[in-house]
Amino acid sequence: MVDTFSRSCPMPIMEHDTIQLAHGSGGKLSADLISGLFLPLLGNDILNLLEDQAILQVPEGRLAFTTDSFVVDPIFFPGGNIGDLAINGTVNDICMSGAQPLCLSAAFIIEEGLAIKDLHRIISAMAEAAEQAQVTIVTGDTKVVDKGSCDKIFINTTGIGCVPADVTISAGSIRAGDKIIISGTVADHGMAIMTSRENLSFETRITSDSAALNSLVARMLEASTAIRAMRDPTRGGVATTLNEFARSSQIGITLFAEQIPLLPEVRGACEILGIDPLYVANEGKLITIAAPGEAEKILGAMRQHPLGRQAAIIGEAVSDHPGMVTMETGLGGSRIVDMPVGEQLPRIC
């Protein structure tokens, strides 16, 4: 991890204060936007060539390849903005396969009229997040749509990573007895977005957990390669990820309610709003399933990393109720944790 943000650029002096349709035309204003704002912040030997495609030298082996579009509303929120979210989200999808990220693409759809200073703030956050995750953006695209045809800015990032030869992680490989580990507190990102969108104020401000998990994953794989499955519980939260695991492996999963890490302010906000934190999005957490004999070793490695200090074993895979997730509550009761049916919170990421 890189601690300091070594790259910055002052607000560029541009002909306009806001994004014009012509910034997406492929002509002179597009070229000004790229040379004045994108390249000073994101530039590198490959991106600077400005070819329509990046050419990468890759070793023989397995590549992880993943895509995500980010449409979060609001675009600025406590703990981050759409820019760092777009980097971290795709880095995380890559490294959930055990791969280390190699590079990303970034494609922007911008609404006519977006303030250049807002775009500068977003691209600065992308540059900082990319540097922290030690990943480069090697190719990109910018489209501008007329006012009213999108909401401020949408960002797609697509990434490539190299999967180590000895690692095979798959949602379908979970066995009874395996332990369910989460890397930290749940529901922080979703509740940060929700409270900031609704202008709700609590005593302690809830902050998004947006973070790149690739260095945490590297630490875990150093400790043990006996990781069966791994996924970041974003949209749909922990409940959705575990239901996907249960279905893919045709195994039951039992959660222990009291073991699930939850910040007091997030618990409070969820109670007030009547929301189950298990269904709320996270953007800097992972769930991993470990063979029983290896779980403590992996947990120990996670707790030594800044992003895994509050890691905990929150459940286990069972041969009962295959394909289903249940939760044991403190009072000895048990309930089904189903896939969410409706939409709790649109545009969370």
Residues 15-54 that bind its own copies (CB under 8 A): 20-22, 24-31, 49-54
Please identify, among the stretches 177-185, 229-237, 253-261, 317-325, the one whose residues bind its own copies according to the rule CB under 8 A.
229-237
Smallest distance, its own copies to C-beta of residue 59, A: 6
Distance (Å) of CA 279 to CA 85, 211, 340: 19, 19, 7
- Select 50 or 291, whichever has its Cβ closest to its own copies: 50
- Select 71 or 299, whichever has its Cβ closest to its own copies: 71
Please report, as residue ranges, which positions from 126 to 145 form the binding site for its own copies (by CB under 8 A).
138-141, 143-145
- Select 146 or 304, whichever has its Cβ closest to its own copies: 146
Of residues 3, 159, 152, 7, the one with CA closest to residue 82: 152
CA 219, 69, 119, 232 dihedral sign is negative
- Our finding on whether 74 is near its own copies (CB under 8 A) is no
Query: Which amino acid is present at 116?
Result: I
- Select 145 or 256, whichever has its Cβ closest to its own copies: 145
**How long a stretch of residues is the chain?**
349
Asked if 108 contacts 142 with a C-beta cutoff of 8 angstroms, the reply is yes
- Our finding on whether 214 is near its own copies (CB under 8 A) is no
Smallest distance, its own copies to C-beta of residue 106, A: 7
- Select 265 or 276, whichever has its Cβ closest to its own copies: 276
- Our finding on whether 198 is near its own copies (CB under 8 A) is no
- Select 170 or 319, whichever has its Cβ closest to its own copies: 170
Long-range contacts of 32-37 (CB under 8 A, 24+ apart): 33/142, 34/142, 36/12, 37/9, 37/12, 37/116, 37/119, 37/120, 37/123
Smallest distance, its own copies to C-beta of residue 44, A: 13
Distance (Å) of CA 124 to CA 13, 43, 47: 16, 12, 16
Please identify, among the stretches 60-68, 183-191, 256-264, 303-311, the one whose residues bind its own copies according to the rule CB under 8 A.
60-68
- Select 331 or 341, whichever has its Cβ closest to its own copies: 341
Choosing from 158, 195, 196, 249, the residue that interacts with its own copies (CB under 8 A) is 158
Please report, as residue ranges, which positions from 162 to 181 form the binding site for its own copies (by CB under 8 A).
163, 170-172
Query: Which amino acid is present at 287?
Result: I
- Select 120 or 231, whichever has its Cβ closest to its own copies: 231
Say if residue 342 is exposed, middle or buried (CB neighbours under 10 Å; 0-12, 13-18, 19+): exposed
Choosing from 189, 235, 285, 305, the residue that interacts with its own copies (CB under 8 A) is 235
Q: How many CA atoms does the CB half-sphere of 53 hold within 13 Å?
A: 2
State the Cα–Cα distance between residues 14 and 37, nearest whole angstrom. 9
Please report, as residue ranges, which positions from 240 to 269 form the binding site for its own copies (by CB under 8 A).
240, 244, 248
CB proximity list for 120: less than 8 A, separation 6 or greater: 9, 11, 12, 37
Distance (Å) of CA 273 to CA 239, 276, 337: 18, 9, 19
Smallest distance, its own copies to C-beta of residue 76, A: 17
Choosing from 47, 83, 88, 108, the residue that interacts with its own copies (CB under 8 A) is 108
- Our finding on whether 4 is near its own copies (CB under 8 A) is no
- Our finding on whether 291 is near its own copies (CB under 8 A) is no
- Select 75 or 307, whichever has its Cβ closest to its own copies: 75
Give the DSSP H or E segment for 318: strand 312-318
Smallest distance, its own copies to C-beta of residue 34, A: 12
